[in-house]
């Protein structure tokens, strides 16, 4: 099953299993409903939480991804959820030393704080933190 998820810059991300004729799970496609001249028209999220995860055992990627997909998008207050793997473009300045990148966005600080304390987020962290190195970036986009 392929699900299209809207993300920043007027794009959607296809998330799902790659089958015949389907896009790769981390491939981004241009959303036709958002004119390129208005990339911010659909954005409601002001806080962007980006996590680069390097798993100690690369064989854990499928299980970790499944846990992220199961636990994170359903937490109340999540405006956007996206995850993907490194895209090798052959550019030496692009860093790709991570297993999975996560992007979760929120409308305000209160919902972000609630997300951090939510049992599903805590469960994911408790389960995977010992098996991974995580670089966490939080950004504020006041519009």
Tokens of 89: 């473009």
Q: Are residues 141 and 122 in the same domain?
A: yes
Position 141 scores a pLDDT of 80
Enumerate residues 6+ apart whose C-beta is below 8 A from 126: none
Give the pLDDT mean for 57-82.
97
Residues 47 and 86 in one domain: yes
Query: Taking 90 as the threshold, does the pLDDT of residue 80 lie above it?
Result: yes
Residues 15, 58 within the same domain: no
Q: How far apart are alpha carbons 13 and 7 in whole angstroms?
A: 7
The answer to whether position 66 is within a domain reads yes
| Rg, C-alpha atoms of the chain | 15
Token readout for 4 is 């299209």
Give the pLDDT confidence of 6-65 residue by residue, as tens digits.
Answer: 444 333 343 433 333 333 444 333 333 334 544 554 567 899 999 999 999 999 999 999
Same domain, 17 and 53: no
Asked whether residue 85 falls in the same domain as residue 47, the answer is: yes
CATH of the domain at 74: 3.30.70.100
Place of tokens 């409601």: 44
pLDDT digits (tens, 9 = 90+) for 100-139: 999 999 999 999 999 999 999 999 999 999 999 999 999 9
Overall domain count for the chain: 2
- Are 68 and 19 members of one domain? no
Q: What is the DSSP letter of 25?
A: T
- Quickly state the pLDDT bin for 76 (edges 50, 70, 90): very high
Same domain, residue pair 125 and 77: yes
- The answer to whether residues 49 and 95 belong to one domain is yes
pLDDT for residue 15? 40
Look up the domain containing 137 and give its range.
Answer: 43-143
pLDDT at 78: 96
> Contact, 139 vs 43, CB < 8 A?
no
CA distance 1 to 18: 8
| Inside any domain, residue 26 | yes
Same domain membership, residue 121 and residue 63: yes
Within a domain: 38: no
């Amino acid at each position: 099953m392929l699900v299209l998820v809207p993300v920043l810059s007027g794009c959607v991300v296809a998330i799902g299993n790659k089958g015949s004729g389907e896009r790769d799970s981390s491939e981004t496609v241009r959303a036709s409903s958002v004119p390129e001249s208005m990339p911010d028209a659909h954005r409601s999220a002001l806080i962007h939480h980006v996590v680069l995860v390097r798993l100690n055992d690369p064989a854990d990627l499928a299980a970790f991804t499944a846990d992220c997909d199961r636990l994170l998008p359903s937490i109340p207050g999540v405006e956007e959820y996206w995850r993907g793997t490194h895209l090798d473009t052959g550019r030496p300045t692009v860093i790709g030393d991570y297993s999975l990148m996560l992007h979760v966005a929120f409308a305000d600080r209160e919902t972000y704080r609630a997300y951090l304390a939510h049992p599903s987020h805590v469960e994911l962290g408790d389960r995977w933190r010992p098996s991974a190195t995580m670089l966490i970036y939080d950004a504020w986009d006041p519009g």
